[in-house]
C-alpha cells in the first residue's frame, strides 16, 4: 500500500501511470480522509495487507478492543478499502477474515477543492490466482 500526495508544484509526469486493470474510484467527501486519518484504521489496513485476518487477530495485532476493530472494519468496508470473506476451518466452523484491497491513495488539491482517488486490487483476480496456486501445490 502506498500513499502519495499530488501537488501543483510537481508535474503530473512525475507520477507513474495507473495500469488499466486496476479499479480507481473518486471520492468527493471528506469521510475517506477521516477514515484514513484514524490510527486504528491505518493499523488494520497495514496488518490485514500482510495476510487475511480474523477480527480477533486484528485486535491482538493492532492492540485494540474487538469493538474498535469491528467499528473500523465496517468503515473500511464501506469505503471499499478492505474485504470480508468467510473461511471454513478444518473443524468445519465458519469465520470471517478481512483483507486489505487498498493499493494506492492519491489526494489532489486543485481549483479550490480536494479530491481523493483510491486504487484497489481486483479481489476476484487475486482469489482466482491464489486458488490456482493452491491447486498446483496439491498436485
Kindly state the average pLDDT of the residues 23-30: 51
CA separation for the pair 69, 42 (Å, rounded): 11
CA separation for the pair 95, 92 (Å, rounded): 10
The pLDDT tens digits of the residues spanning 91-121 come to: 888 889 999 998 888 888 888 877 888 888 8
Query: DSSP readout, 77-94?
Result: HHTTSEEEEEEE-TTS-E
For the chain, what's the residue count? 139
CA angle centred on 19, ends 16 and 22, rounded to 5°? 125
CATH of residue 78's domain is 1.10.10.10
Range of the domain at 125: 2-14+23-138
The pLDDT tens digits of the residues spanning 117-139 come to: 888 887 445 555 655 566 655 55
Ordered alpha helix ranges (H), the chain: 31-37, 39-50, 55-62, 66-78, 123-138
Considering the chain, what percentage of its residues have pLDDT values greater than 90?
A: 40
Domain count, the chain: 1
Amino acid at each position: 500500500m502506498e500513499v502519495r500526495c499530488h501537488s501543483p508544484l510537481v508535474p503530473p509526469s512525475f507520477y507513474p501511470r495507473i495500469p488499466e486493470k486496476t479499479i480507481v474510484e473518486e471520492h468527493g467527501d471528506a469521510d475517506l480522509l477521516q477514515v484514513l486519518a484514524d490510527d486504528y484504521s491505518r493499523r488494520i489496513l497495514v496488518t490485514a495487507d500482510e495476510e487475511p485476518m480474523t477480527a480477533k487477530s486484528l485486535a491482538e495485532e493492532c492492540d485494540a478492543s474487538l469493538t474498535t476493530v469491528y467499528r473500523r472494519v465496517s468503515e473500511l468496508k464501506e469505503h471499499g478499502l478492505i474485504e470480508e470473506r468467510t473461511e471454513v476451518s478444518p473443524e468445519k466452523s465458519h469465520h470471517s477474515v478481512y483483507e486489505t484491497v487498498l493499493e494506492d491513495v492519491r489526494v489532489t488539491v486543485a481549483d479550490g477543492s480536494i479530491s481523493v482517488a483510491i486504487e484497489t486490487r481486483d479481489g476476484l483476480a487475486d482469489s482466482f490466482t491464489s486458488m490456482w496456486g493452491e491447486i498446483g501445490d496439491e498436485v
